[in-house]
Amino acid sequence: MAEMNTDNSQSAGIDLSQFYQVFFEEAGENLDNMERLLLGLDITQADDEELNAIFRCAHSIKGGAATFGFSDVAELTHQMETLLDKLRRHELAPNASMVDVLLASGDALKAQLARHQGNGGDAIDTTDLLANVRALVAGQAPTAVAAAPAVVAQVAAAAPAKGKRLVELRVGPLSNLAQADELRDLFKEIEGLGTIEDLPSFPDQANTRRFKLETASAESDLLDLFTFHVSREEVVFLPWSEGGVQVDPDKGLFEGGAAAAHEEPGYGFFDNAPGAPLSGVASAASASAEVVQASSAAAKPAAKADKPAAGGLESSTIRVSVEKVDQLINLVGELVITQAMLAQNSRGLDPVLYQQLVSGLTDLDRNTRDLQEAVMSIRMIPMSTVFSRFPRMLRDLANKLGKKVELVMQGESTELDKGLVEKITDPLTHLVRNSCDHGVEMPADRLARGKPEVGTITLAASHQGGSIVIEVRDDGRGLNREKLISKAREKGIDAPDTMSDSDCWNLIFAPGFSTADEVTDVSGRGVGMDVVKRNITSLGGTVEIDSAEGYGMRVSVRLPLTLAIMDGMSVGVGEEVYILPLSSVVESFQVNEEMVKTIGGSGRVVEVREEYMPVIELEKVFGVPRFDWEHTSGIMVVVEAEGGRVALLVDELLGQQQVVVKNLESNYRKVNDVSGATIMGDGRVALILDVGSLVRRSRH
């Protein structure tokens, strides 16, 4: 027998840590699945298949955690699995407190996994949870369901100094191993950081240095320090394990077997079984004949006999880092620009003389467009990744408020750019909370109004043209026109009685506006709808509200499908070209002198259809040099953002086109009134204007 290695992540010369990332992702998926299934579980008539599926989630996490040495995760999932096993065998009937405890356990597991992933933090105390799960297994009620796992300072039996813990640090692969010495110096220089000791490198990873750290600092803080000397990707933190396998397969967590012949710890062979050692092949044949039990089924003809016998993983998906995808998108962006340049430069060529070149350029145009579309689609992820958080959130929220709410989700498979998905999560969360908190009435009120006791909140996503529309609907009390108007006047907002319904509903987007009679701790904490609207606007989106008092409310969020490409209108000012987002352009017109008036000595306004609008001269904003002193620009472009309109004075309208948005901040620095830049067909850089910022400028 091979010697047991002393390091649990290094067995048989195999570094188990290389599988950690896959395990973390897989465990995360399993936890999400488990939560979804638990929330959908009908306690009164639980479906066997569902119970099995929940069991499998816990089972799968346990198997991986035990194998890879995450004993805390393995222990908790083991207890959960025991409970779930009893449920699927109908030895226990599911009840609400089981679901609560299992959900809380899921939260604790997420925290444990995050900690192992190197997010730092203290050990997760699962004593109460474990006790609760065990009580449920024994058919008793849980003592108390902790809402969130309590975090305790780690009580380290291995006795590192107070508040400190032991961590294994791996740095590599490094081209120059001496780079890691800088990290050692950090510990010398910075008092209180802790201690660092060299550990021997693994033979198969000679370019990776290993250290033993004793520190009280969070791993994220350490990482920030280390990245002065080595890159973030090269640093791995691992839980410290002194002297061996944390989970001994032969004792402890799992009951050892003792049934068959040739028993050895952890495995065994059946007597006379086919292929078993120590038993002849002859007797194996008879044994298997007995097992087959004269089953009539002749072996199924091999349907896929011609399938290539590839020895690798045959999977329909691969995991790719976001950086790689973004790099690809950037490169395609560059290609689009190059293509546009070629197209522009070749415009003057005689199509007869350069027939092949021109047709080649036409192909290039089409292929570039297709490629761009295909690459952009890689970043698209389904809305279900956002929606999936709401069932749990609403369940907890409704419980807290004493309301009954059902969540309906539609169009979860609608796809949206990953960057947008991440940014839309918070605003959507706010809207859903609002619907539950302010929209849906208490069950008794609903019944009194002749509505079903259970309120419905609907989340729907769909594609409409080049945008995605996400709706949050509820069948609650809706908005009250009078209340909104009087509240607006209290706040000093101009709100005439004659204002249209849609203008009236839009009042709730005014800063600091809240109609809730009392501020609850759920929503209405001052962070209001104005923030929601601002966030959505900054993504190039719009929000619309529709409501009928007593019947409910609908908030529609419309977003562009991606942030990387934008429909723009290019305008010329002097020698410069600026891009305006087409979505914010309202109209453009020629002005004459009498339409523009100067007010208060500073600002100028323009009168359009008996309405005055502030005028912004772009040449003054950006200090555009003007050589043509005689020229008086006379074109105004009206743009709209954040509920306000301004007229921009420009020299000429150059046209509309799709532009590839380049981040100016990451390539240069933040520039006021500019949201980004793009490269034009002729190779010049044009700034993309931040209309919201221009509108705000006009207010001051």
Segment contacting another protein by CB under 8 A, of 14-22, 484-492, 558-566, 600-608: 14-22
> Closest distance between another protein and the C-beta of residue 313, in Å?
5
170 versus 446: smaller Cβ distance to another protein: 170
> Closest distance between another protein and the C-beta of residue 242, in Å?
17
Contacts by 226-235, CB closer than 8 A, 24 or more apart: 226/171, 226/183, 226/186, 228/182, 229/179, 229/180, 229/182, 229/183, 229/186, 230/171, 230/174, 230/179, 230/180, 230/182, 230/183, 234/171, 234/172, 234/173, 234/174, 235/169, 235/170, 235/171
Alpha helices in 616-682 (DSSP H): 618-621, 664-667
38 versus 618: smaller Cβ distance to another protein: 38
Q: Give Cα separations from 184 to 178, 189, 227 (angstroms).
A: 10, 9, 13
* The binder of another protein chosen from 186, 231, 266, 441 (CB under 8 A): 266
> Closest distance between another protein and the C-beta of residue 85, in Å?
9
Strands 467-474 and 455-464: antiparallel
Residue found under tokens 């880092």: 321
Binding flags for another protein, 129-168, as an x/- string (CB under 8 A): ----------------------------------------
> Which of these, 155, 133, 157, lies nearest to 144 by C-alpha position?
133
> Closest distance between another protein and the C-beta of residue 700, in Å?
56
Q: Which of residues 280-339 bind another protein (CB under 8 A)?
A: 281, 284-285, 287-288, 291-292, 295, 297-300, 302-307, 309-315
> Closest distance between another protein and the C-beta of residue 288, in Å?
5
CB 27 within 8 A of CB 383: no
Whether omega before 277 lies within 30 degrees of 0, making that bond cis, reads no
Q: Which of residues 488-527 bind another protein (CB under 8 A)?
A: none
240 versus 270: smaller Cβ distance to another protein: 270
Question: Does position 121 bind another protein by CB under 8 A?
Answer: no
Judged by CB under 8 A, how many residues of this single chain contact another protein? 72
Q: Which of residues 632-661 bind another protein (CB under 8 A)?
A: none
Contacts by 365-368, CB closer than 8 A, 24 or more apart: 365/339, 368/332, 368/335, 368/336, 368/339
* The binder of another protein chosen from 259, 294, 352, 353 (CB under 8 A): 259
* The binder of another protein chosen from 28, 50, 120, 269 (CB under 8 A): 269
Q: Give Cα separations from 430 to 438, 451, 508 (angstroms).
A: 11, 25, 14
CB 479 within 8 A of CB 549: yes
42 versus 314: smaller Cβ distance to another protein: 314
14 versus 43: smaller Cβ distance to another protein: 14
> Closest distance between another protein and the C-beta of residue 443, in Å?
38
> Closest distance between another protein and the C-beta of residue 165, in Å?
24
* The binder of another protein chosen from 93, 145, 148, 260 (CB under 8 A): 260
DSSP 8-state code for residue 438 = I
Question: Does position 40 bind another protein by CB under 8 A?
Answer: no
Q: Which of residues 67-96 bind another protein (CB under 8 A)?
A: 67-68, 74
Q: Which of residues 527-546 bind another protein (CB under 8 A)?
A: none
The residues with which 210 forms a beta bridge, in sequence order, are 170, 199
* The binder of another protein chosen from 6, 13, 143, 548 (CB under 8 A): 13
- Cβ-in-10-Å burial (0-12, 13-18, 19+) of 287 comes to middle
> Can you read off the two tokens belonging to residue 465?
């043209």
CB 693 within 8 A of CB 673: yes
Distance of CA 582 to the CA centre of its chain: 28
Phi/psi-derived region of residue 520, left when phi > 0, alpha when psi is between -120 and 50, beta in every other case:
beta
> Which of these, 364, 55, 5, 37, lies nearest to 204 by C-alpha position?
5
> Closest distance between another protein and the C-beta of residue 231, in Å?
25
223 versus 287: smaller Cβ distance to another protein: 287
* The binder of another protein chosen from 139, 163, 173, 256 (CB under 8 A): 256
Segment contacting another protein by CB under 8 A, of 16-24, 382-390, 399-407, 548-556: 16-24
> Closest distance between another protein and the C-beta of residue 114, in Å?
17
* The binder of another protein chosen from 16, 151, 236, 608 (CB under 8 A): 16
> Can you read off the two tokens belonging to residue 525?
């904490």
> Closest distance between another protein and the C-beta of residue 91, in Å?
14
> Closest distance between another protein and the C-beta of residue 117, in Å?
13
Alpha-carbon gap, residue 617 to 604, rounded angstroms: 9
> Closest distance between another protein and the C-beta of residue 531, in Å?
39
Judged by DSSP in three states, 53 sits in: helix
311 versus 625: smaller Cβ distance to another protein: 311
> Which of these, 537, 551, 543, 565, lies nearest to 470 by C-alpha position?
543
> Can you read off the two tokens belonging to residue 394?
């609403």
* The binder of another protein chosen from 257, 351, 452, 466 (CB under 8 A): 257
- Cβ-in-10-Å burial (0-12, 13-18, 19+) of 594 comes to exposed
- Write out the DSSP string of 81-142: HHHHHHHHTTSS---HHHHHHHHHHHHHHHHHHHIIIII--PPB--HHHHHHHHHHHTT---
5 versus 656: smaller Cβ distance to another protein: 5
Question: Does position 18 bind another protein by CB under 8 A?
Answer: yes
> Closest distance between another protein and the C-beta of residue 53, in Å?
7
Alpha-carbon gap, residue 618 to 626, rounded angstroms: 12
Q: Which of residues 208-247 bind another protein (CB under 8 A)?
A: 245, 247
CB 690 within 8 A of CB 674: yes
Segment contacting another protein by CB under 8 A, of 156-164, 269-277, 332-340, 500-508: 269-277
Question: Does position 1 bind another protein by CB under 8 A?
Answer: yes
* The binder of another protein chosen from 19, 364, 382, 456 (CB under 8 A): 19
12 versus 155: smaller Cβ distance to another protein: 12
Alpha-carbon gap, residue 432 to 633, rounded angstroms: 48
279 versus 506: smaller Cβ distance to another protein: 279
| SS3 annotation, 141-169 | CCCCCCCCCCECCCCCCCCCCCCCEEEEE
* The binder of another protein chosen from 28, 120, 268, 443 (CB under 8 A): 268
* The binder of another protein chosen from 4, 147, 150, 599 (CB under 8 A): 4
Catalogue the E-assigned strands of 506-562.
542-548, 552-560
Binding flags for another protein, 48-67, as an x/- string (CB under 8 A): -----x-xx--xx-xxx-xx
> Can you read off the two tokens belonging to residue 340?
């546009």
Question: Does position 277 bind another protein by CB under 8 A?
Answer: yes
Segment contacting another protein by CB under 8 A, of 18-26, 190-198, 513-521, 677-685: 18-26
